[in-house]
Amino acid sequence: MKIIMFLNTTESLEYFSEQLSKYFVSQGHEVFFYNCSDQLHSFKKLQNFIEPGNTVGFAFNFWGITDDMYLCTGREPFFWDDSGIPFVNMIVDHPYYYHLMFRHLPQKYTQICIDQNHISYMKRFFPSVDSDHFIELGGTPLVPREEMIPFENRKYNLVFTGNYISESFLKKHMSKMEPSALDFYNSMIDDLIADPDYTIEELVEKRVREEFGDAVNDHFLIELFNKTVAIDLDVRHIFRAKVITSLADAGFKISVFGAGYDQCPTIHPENLDQHGKVDSEKCLIALSNARASLNVMPWFKKGSHDRVFNSMLNGAASISDTSDSLTRHFKNFENIVFYDLKHINELPEIYGKLISDQATLKNIAEAGYEESIKNHTWNSRGEKILKILENVLAK
């Protein structure tokens, strides 16, 4: 099988693609990377790569079927339709980020979702899209286990990898809203902070049905959900700040690898060891030199995040809030440490006990590694993705 993938996309997605491509090649398949920043030369090479009936496209987040002068006109994916090449797309965000894209899909389009709730959303609002495929993100071990830095010799007690966007910055973009819309937006944020078990779409629908009753239909909801992206971004960074500051303000040092932490609202900024913006590999290097890694889930309630798997696969114990997927994969205080977003105030005590018992922390890290190396690498995800690619080619 020949697989078309994409370079010069988003840095993290490109890194995922590189990991998957290694697995695809190891299984005897050919991979061609189309360079989105050099479309003319890549398209010429692509034409020579294609083998009719044996070629499939694979991308993250719609790369290759939008904004490319040789593969699509505007958003119309003429290349994929004219060539008859199937296209498999793995979206790593909630589908309400991409409503416009769903109106311009290739004829032979298949979608992979990383959260079971995303599949339910697609079935309800975009039932014609082949999207009933659930595969979580995977993790990447930098080196074999025997080459890892010994747990006792690691530089960082606790790391967090990921950027931070301040609430004040996000609120600036809301300043042009109508007062009624802004009130709705702010009340939604307040409700999600009060009860973070809600998905955003659940809470939005609940609130509008309380106000408008039977007048609410799916068409109305689709238009409304498409405007909730700002809520999604806002609430995840509010909780990111709450979790990190709970530890920093309790006197614990956190090494943060990502941009924006000079704006984090801690009263003890000296406890944030800031390393600035880093790429995917530097995040893995940081995790490989850490005893523990903090995770705050994006709003994936029936999915997981690569930050958890990357932490474990590089020898750090993962400390995370919960999701249905994570609690299904892992056991608290056996191969992961869970905290509750409803009780963030308890996190400093949980973490304090962990760092005072390094033997237990090491055992958790080792057990997390064992579980993740068996089930949560990009190789294990690649095996599932290959089955989907083979199936769409056989149709």
Whether 365 has a pLDDT exceeding 90, the answer reads yes
Q: List the structure tokens of 279.
A: 């790429």
Q: What pLDDT, on a 0 to 100 scale, did the predictor assign at position 250?
A: 98
CA-closest candidate to residue 100, choices 66, 60, 123, 134 = 66
CA 112/CA 130 separation, integer angstroms: 9
pLDDT recorded at residue 168 = 79
Per-residue model confidence as pLDDT tens digits over 230-249: 899 999 999 999 999 999 99
Q: Are 290 and 159 in contact (CB under 8 A)?
A: yes
Confidence of residue 178 (pLDDT cuts 50, 70, 90): confident
pLDDT tens per residue, range 26-61: 999 999 999 999 999 999 999 999 999 999 999 999
Non-local (6+) Cβ contacts of 46 within 8 A are 4, 32, 34
The tens digit of pLDDT for each residue in 245-276 reads 999 999 999 999 999 999 999 999 999 999 99
Burial 135-144 (b: 16+ CB within 10 A, else e): bbbbbbbeee
Average pLDDT over residues 58-77: 90
Q: Which CATH number fits domain 2-138+380-394: 3.40.1350, 3.40.50, 3.30.70, 3.40.1130?
A: 3.40.50
In this predicted structure, the answer to whether residue 176 has a pLDDT above a threshold of 90 is no
* CATH level 3 topology of 145-167+232-376: Rossmann fold (3.40.50)
Place of tokens 């006990």: 353
Residue 171 clears pLDDT 80, i.e. is over it: no
Task: Tell me how far CA of residue 144 lies from CA of 313, 317, 376, in angstroms.
Answer: 9, 17, 15
Query: How high is the pLDDT of residue 75?
Result: 76
- Amino acid identity for residue 207 in this structure: R
282 near 258, Cβ under 8 Å? no
Please state, in angstroms and rounded to a whole number, the distance separating the CA atoms of residues 152 and 98: 45
Start-end ranges of CATH 3.40.50.2000 in the chain?
145-167+232-376
Query: Dihedral through CA 63, CA 68, CA 73, CA 79, nearest 10?
Result: -70
- Under 8 Å between Cβ of 309 and 376: yes
* Cα gap 304→308, rounded to integer Å: 8
* Amino acid code (one letter) for 221: L
